[in-house]
Amino acid sequence: MFLFTAFMIVFMMHYVAVAWTCLNTPFLSFNLFAKILPVFMTLFFFAAFIVPHQVHNDFTYILQIMAQSWLGVLFLYFITVMAAMLLQLIFKLIGHPITFSLGPLVILAAFVLTSVSVSRALKEPEITELTITTETPGTDGIKIVQVSDTHFGATVTPSRAAKLTKQINALEPDLILFTGDIFEDTGRYTPLFVENVKDMKAKLGKFGVTGNHEYYGGIMKNMDLFREAGITPLQNKTVQAGKINIVGINDILSSGIKPQYFEEIIRAGTVSNNNYNLLLSHTPLYLEEAANNKIDLMLSGHTHNGQIWPFKYLTGLRFKNLYGLYKKGKTNLYVTSGTFYWGPAFRLGTKNELPVITLKEAEK
């Protein structure tokens, strides 16, 4: 049912884009070829997404890049067409219909948006420096780097992973915390990504939790990749790093974790001592429950801050805590927009981000 719904949505986006463009561009016509073109485009799109997960070689790797890039182009072109259609309707309703062809202008506008989106996505992660107050002795000055939603795969290459490793090591962090969606199904290139993550250095260690994509790619396989990369996976468990309790919770949505169980996992890891309580949860839900159970800092990702404008507004309907720093009582939550991106190398109105959090002792 999901696959059929996805197919119909992508088909309708193709159909609207092709039909409107043909009807609003002087040198084009909505002929038989144009009418069947959306079907072939949609079939190719899904084949290019599915085949690379079954066969790993240079051809399918390029095919995967093409499919993911086309998704970004399609989305931006579709919303540009919808904006043009709305403009045509408004002018028609006020009695001044647009008489010239909008097709060429829409093509140009979509090209500009695509160029800006690609250039934003190809930038190195921007460091966001945060200072969070701590009342726990022995934690003043602790530096934490959050890595989230790297989606190492077809459009985030091993060379970019290598640059990220250099960027992180130059910060000399005490902790590197991974909040899910780290490795994609890349076949032959996976070992290169693992080696790059393995080269990331942190004085107190590297710890991580599952995101939804860890489940898509196979949870056991991805946890093995975590371990190979030197990341200690925290699957509904707690570890102690210096004076910090790091509580890790499996992806809430993929695991079907309800608020009560969420609180039970936290309590099991935080009641035994007076350490600083830090929670890793890929999905930014249950902030109130975290605050009720003495969590000092919660780190999340998943939302990508919408990644491509105006998709962020739809994402915001689902997640109240979409991006940035939030506070509930004494609990801080930081939701990152992601180190890189999912799918197409597109970012519009958002950024690749590397949060660097320094704990600072509260003034007395």
* Tens-place pLDDT, residues 137-154: 889 999 999 999 999 988
Check residue 56 and give its pLDDT: 75
pTM: 0.91
Range 281-309 average pLDDT: 94
Which pairs count as long-range contacts for 288-292, CB under 8 Å and 24+ apart, including other chains? 288/328, 289/259, 289/262, 289/263, 290/262, 290/266, 290/328, 290/331, 290/333, 291/328, 291/329, 291/330, 291/331, 292/263
DSSP helix/strand/coil, 115: helix
Helix (H) or strand (E) holding 259: helix 259-270
Number of alpha helices (DSSP H) and beta strands (DSSP E) in the chain: 12, 12
Does the pLDDT value for residue 57 go beyond 80?
Answer: no
Range 289-293 average pLDDT: 92
Check residue 54 and give its pLDDT: 75
Check residue 364 and give its pLDDT: 62
How sure is the predictor about 201, in pLDDT bands with cuts at 50, 70 and 90?
A: very high
How sure is the predictor about 235, in pLDDT bands with cuts at 50, 70 and 90?
A: very high
Can you list the domains of the chain with their CATH numbers? 2-121 (no CATH), 126-361 (3.60.21.10)
Check residue 186 and give its pLDDT: 60
Check residue 271 and give its pLDDT: 63
DSSP helix/strand/coil, 152: strand
Mean pLDDT of the chain: 91
Range 80-100 average pLDDT: 91
Does the pLDDT value for residue 14 go beyond 90?
Answer: yes
